[in-house]
Amino acid sequence: MRVSDRHRFLISTNRIEDAKEQNAKVLKQFSSQRRINLPHDDPVGASQALKHTNRLADLQSLHNNLQFSKGFLSVTESALSTIQENLNRAKELSIGMASDTFGPDARASTAKEIGEIVNSIIQMGNSRFGAKYVFSGFRTSAPAFDRDGVFLGDDGEIFLQTGEGKSQRINFSGRELFEASAGGRSEDTTQMIDSLLILKRGMEENNKETIQQSLERIDRFIDKAASMQASVGAITNTLSEAEKQLGLKEDLEKEQLAVIEDVDMFSASSDFKRSEQVLQSVLLTSSKMLQPSLFNFLQ
């Protein structure tokens, strides 16, 4: 059977295209440092890589939850620390003003500082992480307290997923801290802000008995703030450990993905040089074999 010039031309063209395609594929692997750039480069490997990529996306979502949770708790802990400092200062002032050392003028002046303490505590009760109020329960878009210290939030407990099948509560309602718990060491259920306002009024009225009675209430809220702060610290430690474990899982997934996707640069370099040589050889052979004219090509 006679092989026409047209047929020879098509064979040569196909060989050239195959050589160019292989050369381009190796060049892309070499430049991107990835063995799989398109699914057809390795269908099985691409499927495995997709599983690891999806797994990494899930881990990243958990990582984002952990970062948010730690930030939320950091603001909570800072607010609790400031509240506790304010309560300790109020206690210190109460002890001093409950004695006979100071007179009406000193107590009236100290009442003003108690008022500032009240304002500071209410401000800390309305602390925010980003746009979210940390003590408002589920109502994170609204302040937890009004200007008079009245609680406006709810008792919602916010849980975020922090691991596979694991969730962690990250918030404490302002009610837990600011309102007295029944059945404690005292049956007095006066809430924190009211307790401080009673103390303030006792100083304004130069009433040592009222000031002394306020000490037990203040101690109770100091204990509550300290207990809540300890709980926040424990949760933060748990989240830090979860973040550490999550980081190890992410590293493992990235390593497994790299084994599938990443190219051996030495082999890629050798393959690229080889594909260049093949392409040049095919081009040279085709040019010598064909040397086509328009008449020969049209046969």
Average of pLDDT values for 171-177? Answer: 94
Instruction: Give residue 217's pLDDT.
Output: 92
The residue extents of the domains of the chain are 54-257
pLDDT band at 21 (very low <50, low <70, confident <90, very high): low
Average pLDDT rounded to a whole number, residues 286-295: 53
**Strands (DSSP E) found in the chain:** 128-129, 132-133, 159-163, 166-169
Looking at the predicted structure, is the pLDDT value of residue 167 above 90?
yes
Q: How many residues does the chain have?
A: 299
Q: Is the pLDDT of residue 44 over 90?
A: no
Lowest mean pLDDT among 107-111, 149-153, 184-188: 184-188
Q: Residue 29: its pLDDT value, please?
A: 57
Reply yes or no on whether the pLDDT at 61 is more than 60.
Answer: yes
CA distance 296 to 57: 59
* Other beta carbons less than 10 A from residue 19's beta carbon: 20
Cα angle vertex 54, ends 52, 58, to 5°? Answer: 110
Rounded percentage of the chain residues whose pLDDT exceeds 70: 70
Q: Are 158 and 166 in contact (CB under 8 A)?
A: no
> Taking residues 251-277, what's their average pLDDT?
66
Interval 140-167 mean pLDDT: 93
- State yes or no: pLDDT of 199 exceeds 90: yes
CATH 1.20.1330.10 fits 54-257, yes or no: yes
- The pLDDT value recorded for residue 183 is 46
Q: Is the pLDDT of residue 169 over 80?
A: yes
Query: Residue 266: its pLDDT value, please?
Result: 47
* pLDDT at position 283 over 60: no
Mean of all residue pLDDT scores within the chain: 82
pTM value surpassing 0.85: no
